[in-house]
Amino acid sequence: MTVRIITLEEHFASPGLMDRFGRQSFHNKGEQLCDLNERRIAEMDAAGIDMQVLSLTSPGTESLAAEEAVKIASSANDFLATAIERHPSRFAGFAALPTAAPDLAADELERMVCQHGFRGAVINGHIQGRYLDDQFFWPILERAEALQVPVYLHPAPPPQAVIDAYYTGNFSPEVTRMLSTAGWGWHIETAVHILRLILSGAFDRYPKLQIIIGHLGEALPFMLPRIDLVLQPNLTKLQCPMAAYLRENIHYTFSGFNFTAAFLELLLQVGVDRIMFSADYPYGSMEKGRDFLTQLPVSSADREKIAHGNAELLLRL
Ligand code: MN
Query: Ligand 1 centroid to 11 CA: how many Å?
Result: 7
Each of the 317 residues of the chain gets a pLDDT tens digit; together they read 579 999 999 999 999 999 999 888 887 898 999 999 999 999 999 999 999 999 999 989 999 999 999 999 999 999 999 999 999 999 999 999 999 999 999 999 999 999 999 999 999 999 999 999 999 999 999 999 999 999 999 999 999 999 999 999 999 999 999 999 999 999 999 999 999 999 999 999 999 999 999 999 999 999 999 999 999 999 999 999 999 999 999 999 999 999 999 999 999 999 999 999 999 999 999 999 999 999 999 999 999 999 999 999 999 99
Q: What's this model's pTM, rounded to 2 decimal places?
A: 0.98
Q: Distance, CA 234 to ligand 1 centroid (Å)?
A: 36
* Cα 214 to ligand 1 centroid, rounded to whole Å: 8
Q: Which residues contact 299 (CB under 8 A, 6 or more apart)?
A: none
The DSSP symbol for 252 reads E
Peptide bond into 59 cis (omega under 30): yes
Planar angle of CA 144, 149, 153, nearest 5 degrees: 75
93 alpha carbon, distance to own chain's centre: 12
- Rounded distance from Cα 280 to ligand 1 centre (Å): 5
φ and ψ at 55, to 5 degrees?
-140, 150
Fold classification of 6-315 is TIM Barrel (3.20.20)
Around ion ligand 1, residues with a beta carbon closer than 5 Å are 9, 280
- The amino acid present at 193, given as its one-letter code, is H
Q: What's the Cα-to-Cα distance from 119 to each of 168, 246, 247, rounded to whole Å?
A: 39, 21, 21
Radius of gyration of the chain (CA): 18
Sign of the torsion angle spanned by Cα atoms 41, 42, 43, 46: positive
Kind and range of the H or E run holding 237? none
DSSP code for 215: H
Would you please indicate which residues are annotated as catalytic (active-site) residues?
A: 280
